[in-house]
Amino acid sequence: MSVKLAFQDWIYEAQESICEALENIDGKARFTKDPWKRRAGGGGLSRVLASGDVIEKGGVNVSVVEGPLPDVIREKFGVQGTWFNASGLSLVIHPVSPMIPAVHANYRYFELYNREGGGVVDSWFGGGADLTPYYVFDEDIRHFHQVHKEVCDTVNHNLYFRLKESCDRYFYNEHRGEARGVGGIFFDYLRVQSDKSMYDWLHFVEKCGNAFLSAYLPLIKRRRHEPWGEKERHFQEVRRGRYVEFNLIHDRGTLFGLKTGGRTESILMSLPPVVRWDYDFKVESGSREEKLLKLLKLPKKWL
Amino acid sequence: MSVKLAFQDWIYEAQESICEALENIDGKARFTKDPWKRRAGGGGLSRVLASGDVIEKGGVNVSVVEGPLPDVIREKFGVQGTWFNASGLSLVIHPVSPMIPAVHANYRYFELYNREGGGVVDSWFGGGADLTPYYVFDEDIRHFHQVHKEVCDTVNHNLYFRLKESCDRYFYNEHRGEARGVGGIFFDYLRVQSDKSMYDWLHFVEKCGNAFLSAYLPLIKRRRHEPWGEKERHFQEVRRGRYVEFNLIHDRGTLFGLKTGGRTESILMSLPPVVRWDYDFKVESGSREEKLLKLLKLPKKWL
């Protein structure tokens, strides 16, 4: 089977098992199923859960789109080809509790062609997973990184450190001088190379996605009964504002989706449910809130 | 006095009188005064009011910044010069009540030079004012447009219609296929021309700014006691999400500010205080909420 078709099979399976596990742990809300078609070719299946016991808003989306590559994207991304096929699984979880980190993961595969139906002129995988806590529990963050390191270690022992650094670099709110969260792994342009076929990368990406639940679910289990009140909720809502800023100002994926005529509601399902912008919000010195802000100023070695 | 200095005097005066009038009508909250300096040159005075009786969040900011023009901006805006000076008054009001429209106004003046301290190689005014209602009261929208038309008519009888069209074009959420609000006037690149000196444009821009209160305050007075409940508040918060999307994805002013090292908190004071993103939010057929959405699909002639 071609890499493209094998990957497409996998993203639909992974979507199914991730949604099922999240529903089980939430215990209350269910994922909707919203299939959609795109006029210029392709479509997807958006699955969204709202107002759960644990998950305030979560989306696990598959999309497989194909069409002419817009000029603006070709220039911005510095790639060749005039026709593209992009398949991906994208998920974002915004928990109710400020004690449980928000999480984002994405696994995607691109093929470029010189014309519709033409041979592949370029192809690559991209993806990763990263954590956005509002209150810092070092062991949670370390666990999330550790699970991803184990997957990276199956390729080579440097890979985690490279992808962790890419993640810190990518999820950065330049205009705020701070990271969006505490990272994880991020990769892009994983292309064929002397010692790696696209099938090798396919297996790596699948392993990453299959590890997602074991990286994240333990954090929900540990923190779901952690107490919090109005103050912590307020802080979470303010910090969610930074999440929105990153996604709308800096995120290449969001830009790519919106510019290539992706389904707006599926792309923007990543935005948190309730968000607050207080002018010049300040935290108390020595507080738990300050601990987070300090952490976001400089990437930390978790492992 | 040079156009630049005359305009700078005016923006500080206008800031003062607008803040005073808004405090009076709010009756509860007060504008803070946050002076700031920019490392690369210049600074400003941010004035923000929060948690008022009428105004949930409002900002009336002056900034006067100068420095090297970043390449990305020169290309994006298609202008000449390597050094810039930008002065502006920018205001955004997000009322508590969903029955009172949010409003935005901006009046700005740019000068470009080939070097620091060099002669002016290009200069222009930009600005305008526009309304973002959540519930539609035709007479309110018409009043806002009428006041601005009267100012435009002092220049010529076509001007309002041109600037109204520019406004509809500019405040458009391409990725949603809908307008941000119901417009007003928008102008940019008002340069010297055979029958207009920069002083003529200065007077026009000052007149626009001086008319702001008479365009907007009557809407507060008429609607502040209009009843609303949870449903209307929910709708307002969802629609505020579209406001955020416009500002962070499409607004050139926000981009310019963030890329030229403007003060992030002053630039992003424009974002609404409490915002909601519901996945695939739908309104009831025949409802007041649907009336708004229909209105935003196609620009309407208000006068």
State whether B273 and A272 contact (CB < 8 Å). Answer: no
For A221, the token pair is 């289990």
Question: In the structure, how many helices (H) and strands (E) does chain B have?
Answer: 9, 10
For A239, the token pair is 């910090």
Smallest Cα–Cα separation from A144: which of A219, A70, A89, A239? Answer: A219
State whether A271 and B241 contact (CB < 8 Å). Answer: yes
Question: In the structure, how many helices (H) and strands (E) does chain A have?
Answer: 9, 10
Q: Which residues contact A25 (CB under 8 A, 6 or more apart)?
A: A54, A217, A220, A221
Mapped onto helix, strand or coil, the DSSP state of residue A239 is helix
Kindly report the nearest CA distance between residue A30 and chain B, in angstroms. Answer: 14
Q: Distance between CA atoms of B151 and B157, rounded to whole angstroms? A: 10
Per-residue pLDDT at B236: 98
Q: What is the mean pLDDT of residues A229-243?
A: 98
Chain B CB contacts of A265 below 8 Å: 279-280
State whether A278 and B248 contact (CB < 8 Å). Answer: no
A51 and chain B in contact, CB less than 8 A: no
Which residues of chain A from 77 to 116 reach within 8 Å of chain B, CB to CB? none
Q: Which of B48, B249, B276 sits opposite A248 (nearest CB)?
A: B249
- DSSP E strands: which ranges in A144-234? 172-173, 178-179, 183-190
A40 and chain B in contact, CB less than 8 A: no
Lowest mean pLDDT among A99-103, A262-266, B200-204: A262-266
Element (H, E) at B123: strand B120-132
Per-residue pLDDT at B171: 97
Chain A CB contacts of B280 below 8 Å: 34, 48, 265
Per-residue pLDDT at B295: 97
Q: Which residues contact A302 (CB under 8 A, 6 or more apart)?
A: A141, A142, A145, A146, A164, A182, A183
Q: Distance between CA atoms of A131 and A164, rounded to whole angstroms? A: 12
Active-site residue identified among B94, B104, B145, B148? B104
Q: What is the mean pLDDT of residues A259-283?
A: 93
Domains of chain A and any CATH numbers:
3-297 (3.40.1500.10)
Kindly report the nearest CA distance between residue A174 and chain B, in angstroms. Answer: 9
State whether A273 and B278 contact (CB < 8 Å). Answer: yes
Cα–Cα distance list, B262 to B10, B33, B36, B238, B254 (Å): 21, 17, 10, 28, 9
Chain A CB contacts of B241 below 8 Å: 271
Phi, psi of A256 (to 5 degrees): -55, -45
Mapped onto helix, strand or coil, the DSSP state of residue A132 is strand
State whether B275 and A280 contact (CB < 8 Å). Answer: no
Per-residue pLDDT at A47: 97
As to burial, measured by CB atoms within 10 angstroms (0-12 exposed, 13-18 middle, 19+ buried), residue B75 is exposed
Q: Distance between CA atoms of B93 and A142, rounded to whole angstroms? A: 43
State whether A274 and B276 contact (CB < 8 Å). Answer: yes
pLDDT > 70: what percent of chain A?
100
Q: What is the mean pLDDT of residues A211-227?
A: 98
The band of A262, judged by pLDDT with boundaries at 50, 70 and 90, is: confident
As to burial, measured by CB atoms within 10 angstroms (0-12 exposed, 13-18 middle, 19+ buried), residue A115 is exposed
Q: Distance between CA atoms of A276 and B276, rounded to whole angstroms? A: 9
Q: Which of A34, A248, A274 sits opposite B248 (nearest CB)?
A: A248
State whether A48 and B280 contact (CB < 8 Å). Answer: yes
Asked whether B267 and B254 are in contact (CB, 8 A), the reply is yes
Cα–Cα distance list, A156 to A147, A162, A240 (Å): 15, 11, 35
Smallest Cα–Cα separation from B31: which of A282, A275, A279? Answer: A279
Cα–Cα distance list, A244 to A32, A248, A276, B143, B214 (Å): 23, 6, 10, 34, 34
pLDDT single digits (tens) A159-191: 999 999 999 999 999 999 999 999 999 999 999
Q: Distance between CA atoms of A267 and B133, rounded to whole angstroms? A: 26
Per-residue pLDDT at A211: 98
B120 and chain A in contact, CB less than 8 A: no
A48 and chain B in contact, CB less than 8 A: yes
Element (H, E) at B15: helix B3-26
Q: Which of B237, B244, B280 sits opposite A244 (nearest CB)?
A: B244
B240 and chain A in contact, CB less than 8 A: no
Q: Please, what is the end-to-end C-alpha distance for chain B in angstroms? A: 37
Q: Distance between CA atoms of A60 and A18, rounded to whole angstroms? A: 8
Cα–Cα distance list, A280 to A148, A217, B2, B266 (Å): 36, 34, 34, 8
Q: Distance between CA atoms of B91 and B104, rounded to whole angstroms? A: 6
Chain A CB contacts of B237 below 8 Å: 274
Q: Please, what is the end-to-end C-alpha distance for chain A in angstroms? A: 37
Per-residue pLDDT at A20: 98
- DSSP E strands: which ranges in A51-192? 55-68, 83-95, 102-113, 120-132, 172-173, 178-179, 183-190
Cα–Cα distance list, A31 to A26, A38, A93 (Å): 11, 22, 12
Asked whether A34 and A45 are in contact (CB, 8 A), the reply is yes
pLDDT at A52 over 80: yes
State whether B279 and A48 contact (CB < 8 Å). Answer: yes
Chains A and B form CB pairs within 8 A to the count of 69
State whether A265 and B280 contact (CB < 8 Å). Answer: yes
Q: What is the mean pLDDT of residues A215-221?
A: 98
CA closest to A272 among chain B residues: B277
Per-residue pLDDT at B77: 74
pLDDT at A93 over 90: yes
Strands A34-37 and A172-173: unpaired
- Whether B94 is catalytic is no
State whether B279 and A272 contact (CB < 8 Å). Answer: no
Asked whether A192 and A202 are in contact (CB, 8 A), the reply is no
Q: What is the mean pLDDT of residues A220-240?
A: 98
For A78, the token pair is 């510095």
State whether A279 and B249 contact (CB < 8 Å). Answer: no
Kindly report the nearest CA distance between residue A151 and chain B, in angstroms. Answer: 32
Lowest mean pLDDT among A93-102, A232-241, B33-42, B169-178: B33-42
Q: Which of B237, B244, B269 sits opposite A279 (nearest CB)?
A: B269
pLDDT at A260 over 80: no
A59 and chain B in contact, CB less than 8 A: yes
For B173, the token pair is 């959420």
Lowest mean pLDDT among A71-75, A101-105, A156-160: A71-75
CA closest to A234 among chain B residues: B274
pTM: predicted TM-score of the whole model, two decimal places? 0.95
Which residues of chain B from 173 to 212 reach within 8 Å of chain A, CB to CB? 175-176
Q: What is the mean pLDDT of each run of 10 residues along chain B (303 residues)?
A: 96 98 98 90 93 98 90 79 93 98 97 92 96 98 98 97 98 96 97 95 98 98 97 98 97 85 91 97 98 96 96
